Amino acid sequence: MTTVYRRRKRQFLQLVLTCFSCCFILIYWEQLDVNVISHLKSYSYRYLINKYSFLNDSMSLNKEIAARLHNYQYLITHENKCQDQDVLLLLFVKSSPKNSHRRDAIRQTWGNEQYIYSELKAIIKVIFVLGIHKDLSQRKRVQRNLLVEDQQHSDLIQQDFYDDFHNLTLKLIFQFEWANTFCKNAKFVMSSDDDVFIHTPNLINYLLQLDKEIMNFWIGRVHRGAPPIRNKESKYYVPYEMYQWPSYPDYTAGAGYVVSQDVAVKVYKALMTLNTSLYIDDVFMGICAKMMEVPPQNHIYFAGEGKAPYHPCIYNQMMTSHGHVKDVHHLWREATHAKVTSLTSGFWGQLYCRLIKVFLLCKPYYVDTYPCIAAFS
C-alpha cells in the first residue's frame, strides 16, 4: 500500500513541477526567446553553417554612393603627425567633444607619448577622434574650447558629423581613412575609448616582441557567434533590414583592439564598399574583416566591457581595462610602480601571483573581468 501511495505522490509532484515549468516558460517565453533561442540560433549558425555571404548586395553599395556617404569635412586634423617617423603604434581614442577632462587624464597617464619614448624607445601617436557636438546651443562654445585644446596639444582630429552613439560607424571610417591617408607608416593601429585604461608599457612591450614582418594581425577581446539584438528597447537593437543573418561574424570589442598596417588597409578598402547604416562600430569592423578574410585573435588580458581587478599581480600582465574615468591617475601610478615587478618576479612571486589571480579571476559566479584561464598564463 505505502509504496503505491509513495509512487502516486511522486507522480503527482512531477506533474505539478512540469506544469509549473511549462507556465514559467510560457510566461517568460519572450525573454527566453531573446536570450536563449537567439544565442542557440547564433551559435549553430556560426559553428555549423558559417556562410556569411556578406558580399551579396544587401550590404554593398556602388562606389559613387559610398564615396558620397563617407565624405565628411575635416574640421581639425594634423596631416604631418606621423611624417618621417618610425611610428610603432597609432592609437586612436574615440572621445566626445565635451570629455576634455578624460583626454587630459589620458595625456598625463597612459597616453603620454614622451613617457613611452623615454622608457621604451618606441614612438606612439595618441590621437583623439571627435565628431561635432550635437546640441546646437552649445556647439559654438564647445568647438571654441576644442580649438584651444588642440592648439595646446595638437592631438585632436575632428570630422563634421554629429558625435553620437549611432554615428560610431562614421567614426570608425574616419579612423581608418585617417590612418590610411596620414599615417601609413605606423606598424600598428589601435582603436579604443576614452573610458578605457590601456597599460601602454605592457602593450608596447608585447608589440615590440612580435615579428617585424607580421601580417594579418588583429587582436583584442573576441566575441564569437554573438547574435544581433532584435529587442527594440535595447541600445544595440538592430532591425532585420540592417542585418539579416542570425549571427555576427567574430569581432573584437570596440573598447580596444590592435591591427597591423596591412589589416588597416584591407579594412579601409572594405569600409568603402559597404552600407554604413549598421551603427555598432565593432561589429561593422568585424564584417569588413570577414570580407577580407582576416580572423581576430583573442588576448585574455584585453577587456571587453570588463574591468580589471586592482592588484599588482594583474598590473603585471594587463593590456586594457574598461570603465575608468576618475581612477585613471591612481591606476596609472599603481600599475607602473616599481613594486609591481619586484612583487611578481621570482619563484615565490610567481606562486603568490598565481594564487592571487585564481582568487581574483576564477569565481563561482560571473564577474565581468578577465577570464579564469588568465590566472594560468
| Residues at the site binding ligand NAG, with contacts judged by CB under 6 A | 53, 56-58, 61, 65, 161-162, 164, 166-167, 241-242, 244, 275, 277
Count Cβ atoms below 10 Å from residue 171 Cβ, excluding itself: 23
Residue of 189, 231, 12 lying closest to 88 (CA atoms): 189
Residue 81 C-alpha cell reads as: 603627425
- Is residue 194 within 8 Å of residue 95, measured between CB atoms? yes
Residue 160 or 368 with smaller CB distance to ligand NAG: 160
CB of 163 to ligand NAG, least distance (A): 8
CB of 167 to ligand NAG, least distance (A): 4
Query: Could you tell me the smallest distance in angstroms from the CB atom of residue 53 to ligand NAG?
Result: 6
Is the CB of 19 or the CB of 65 nearer to ligand NAG? 65
Among residues 106 and 287, whose Cβ is nearest to ligand NAG?
287
Q: Which is nearer to ligand NAG, 95 or 260 (CB)?
A: 95
Q: Closest CB to ligand NAG among 70 and 307?
A: 70
Grid coordinates representing 248 are 555576427
Helix (H/G/I), strand (E/B), else coil: 307:
coil
Q: How far is the CB of 213 from ligand NAG (least distance, A)?
A: 37
Whole-Å CA distances, 227 to 241, 243, 281? 15, 10, 15
Q: How far is the CB of 23 from ligand NAG (least distance, A)?
A: 36
Q: Which is nearer to ligand NAG, 53 or 152 (CB)?
A: 53
- Closest by CA to 283, choosing from 225, 232, 198, is 225
Q: How far is the CB of 231 from ligand NAG (least distance, A)?
A: 17
Compute CA distances 163 → 130, 264, 303, whole Å.
Answer: 7, 23, 24
Nearest to residue 91, comparing CAs of 259, 210, 292, 228?
259
CA distances from 236 to 162, 274, 296 (A): 19, 20, 21
Can you name the residues that pair with 158 across neighbouring β-strands? 76, 130
As measured in angstroms, the least distance from the Cβ of 69 to ligand NAG is 6
Least CB distance to ligand NAG at residue 242 (A): 4
Identify the helix (H) or strand (E) that includes residue 82: none
Q: Where are the beta strands (DSSP E) in the chain?
A: 74-76, 87-94, 123-132, 156-162, 188-193, 196-198, 218-223, 251-260, 297-298, 320-322
Nearer Cβ to ligand NAG (3/56): 56
We find the least distance from the C-beta atom of residue 276 to ligand NAG, in angstroms, to be 8
Of 35 and 277, which CB lies nearer to ligand NAG in the complex structure? 277
**Exposure string over 23-33, b if 16+ CB within 10 A, otherwise e:** eeeeeeeeeee
E strands, 245-301, are 251-260, 297-298
Residue 46 or 199 having the CB closest to ligand NAG? 46
